Amino acid sequence: MSLKTQIDAFEVQKKANVPADILNLMDVTTEKLIAEQLSEHALKVGDKFPAFELPDSKGKQISSTELLTKGPLVLSFYRGGWCPYCNLELRALNNMQQAFADQNAQLVAVSPQLPDESLSTQQQNELAYTVLSDVSNSLAKKCGLVFTLDERLIPVYDQLGLDIPKANGDESYELPLPATYVIDSQGVIQFAFAHEDYTLRAEPLDVLNAVKALNHV
């Protein structure tokens, strides 16, 4: 089943269970973010991806230099384990983890969550790949992905039990756009997806095909 099919099914459930006024506010704030065209300033194919060193879910520092010595890097930015769309994407990538490994691709997910929160996300989704903590969105900012959650959504998120300050360790409410990059051994982006609409995600099969194309150049 494609990731889009899974997300479409979740959308049906959400519309059946979430009050109409909240759904409307989510739509309005998403449309506002789309209008700001933040993704136009995000890193694109052909750009050099910034070198980084971030802690994994157990606190070990992981560097992009180290990862790229092993093969292409597939990097997926997600908002947090509190986001159901992110969890669907994380699991969909995990289901294809072996296919990525067969292409010598290193699959890595990145969020602004603290390492302990990243560990919870990794365990709850039974992820077999590396999950990194980009605290304060330092890497996401270099990629042009960061926005501040619309203040109108803060009480709604509180009502839904989504505690972003606890997950991220700050009160900024800064989040990354969902984004996926395929980066070659020279650190150059060969596939890029970023969108202001958090319900839209890169299809894992498209990402895998980008890796395969890279390996056959």
- Mean pLDDT confidence for 121-145: 97
pLDDT band at 128 (very low <50, low <70, confident <90, very high): very high
pLDDT of amino acid 198 = 96
- Mean pLDDT confidence for 119-140: 96
Q: Mean of the per-residue pLDDT values for the chain?
A: 96
> Going by DSSP bridges, is the β-strand pair 53-55/61-63 parallel, antiparallel, or unpaired?
antiparallel
Q: Show the tokens assigned to 134.
A: 């980009």
CA distance 138 to 59: 17
In the chain, where do the E strands start and end? 53-55, 61-63, 73-77, 106-111, 130-133, 146-148, 174-176, 179-183, 189-194
pLDDT of amino acid 22 = 95
- Mean pLDDT confidence for 45-74: 96
Domain range annotation of the chain: 3-215
Q: Show the tokens assigned to 29.
A: 């704030």
CA distance 32 to 24: 12
Give the amino acid at 135.
Answer: V
Burial 164-193 (b: 16+ CB within 10 A, else e): beebbbeeebbbbbbbbbbbbeeeebbbbb
pLDDT band at 3 (very low <50, low <70, confident <90, very high): very high
Per-residue model confidence as pLDDT tens digits over 163-183: 999 999 999 999 999 999 999
Strand, coil or helix: what is 62? strand
> Residue 136's closest CA among 109, 179, 165, 99?
165
pLDDT of amino acid 216 = 73
pLDDT of residue 215 exceeding 90, the answer is no
CA distance 5 to 158: 28
- Mean pLDDT confidence for 119-127: 95
- Mean pLDDT confidence for 26-49: 97
The CATH code that applies to domain 3-215 is: 3.40.30.10
pLDDT of amino acid 178 = 97
- Mean pLDDT confidence for 1-7: 96
- Mean pLDDT confidence for 198-206: 97
**pTM of the entire structure?**
0.96
Per-residue model confidence as pLDDT tens digits over 62-88: 999 999 999 999 999 999 999 999 999
- Mean pLDDT confidence for 82-106: 97
pLDDT of residue 127 exceeding 80, the answer is yes
pLDDT of amino acid 217 = 57
pLDDT of amino acid 118 = 95
